[in-house]
Chains A and B, each alone.
Chain A
Amino acid sequence: SQQGEEDPQALSIQEGENATMNCSYKTSINNLQWYRQNSGRGLVHLILIRSNEREKHSGRLRVTLDTSKKSSSLLITASRAADTASYFCATDAGNTGNQFYFGTGTSLTVIP
């Protein structure tokens, strides 16, 4: 299946440090998205990167995409305690772009 797989499963860092999460997928895509899920809440869209883009920034977030390796990374710089959440990548399935595949996420804990 196209399911995205995030790595690591869990990450614990000190406030102020950078956090890097990775996502790998299996088939071609039109775009890849990153979402955040706070405990007990729904997912919130963070950033979308298209297959013809290599890097994208949004505030303290930096996303890279390497379609040759079928992987993406999410970097959160200068982390804050409020960044504590699970982070998911979502991929479409290329030609059938109306379906998203999520993984099990990376659980990030930022220690104050």
Chain B
Amino acid sequence: DTAVSQTPKYLVTQMGNDKSIKCEQNLGHDTMYWYKQDSKKFLKIMFSYNNKELIINETVPNRFSPKSPDKAHLNLHINSLELGDSAVYFCASSWTSDSDTQYFGPGTRLTVL
């Protein structure tokens, strides 16, 4: 059984389009995260939600909008996609919002043409 799942696994789209990536965790965790990993493998946190409430919002363009309908889901919607948005996006979850082990999804490779 997959603990943290993301869809789609691959996403290829044109500049200017709007796309969404979905994330679900079945671990019963309270906190979920979105990370962006660039081509140099640098992994940077974008957002964190605790029980559906936003607790971390790094310096991310407002074209990126996370949505958490319930604590098991954290989706990422991206408007007006740009070439620089090409990366692998990882969803993760943890029991609490304090420093804790994070469980990562398999990633979504986004390619903007």
* Residue positions of A touching B, CB distance < 8 A: 30-31, 33, 35, 37, 40-45, 48, 86, 88, 90, 92, 97-105, 107
Q: Is the CB of B101 within 8 A of A33?
A: yes
Of the candidates B41, B101, B105, the one whose C-beta lies within 8 Å of that of A104 is B41
Q: A43-B90, A102-B44 are in contact. Are A97 and B99 (CB under 8 A)?
A: yes
Residues of chain B at interface, number, CB under 8 A:
25
Of B35, B55, B92, B99, most A-chain CB atoms within 10 Å: B99
Of the candidates A31, A41, A107, the one whose C-beta lies within 8 Å of that of B99 is A31
Kindly list chain B residues whose C-beta atoms are within 8 Å of the C-beta of A98. Answer: 31, 48, 50, 55-56, 97-99
Kindly list chain B residues whose C-beta atoms are within 8 Å of the C-beta of A107. Answer: 41
A-facing residues in B80-113 (Cβ within 8 Å):
90, 92, 97-99, 101-107
Determine if B45 is an interface residue (Cβ-Cβ < 8 Å): yes
Kindly list chain A residues whose C-beta atoms are within 8 Å of the C-beta of B40. Answer: 104
Counted as pairs of residues, one from A and one from B, with CB atoms less than 8 Å apart, the total is: 59
Distance between Cα atoms of A44 and B101 in the complex (Å): 9
Distance between Cα atoms of A2 and B41 in the complex (Å): 17
* Residue positions of B touching A, CB distance < 8 A: 4, 31, 35, 40-45, 48, 50, 55-56, 90, 92, 97-99, 101-107
Kindly list chain A residues whose C-beta atoms are within 8 Å of the C-beta of B4. Answer: 42
Kindly list chain B residues whose C-beta atoms are within 8 Å of the C-beta of A88. Answer: 43
Q: A41-B107, A42-B4 are in contact. Are A100 and B45 (CB under 8 A)?
A: yes
Q: Which residue on B lies nearest to A43, using beta carbons?
A: B104
**Chain B proximity of A29: nearest CB distance (Å):** 8
Q: A43-B104, A92-B99 are in contact. Are A99 and B41 (CB under 8 A)?
A: no
**Chain B proximity of A48: nearest CB distance (Å):** 6
Kindly list chain A residues whose C-beta atoms are within 8 Å of the C-beta of B105. Answer: 42
**Chain A proximity of B91: nearest CB distance (Å):** 8
Q: A42-B90, A99-B56 are in contact. Are A48 and B101 (CB under 8 A)?
A: yes
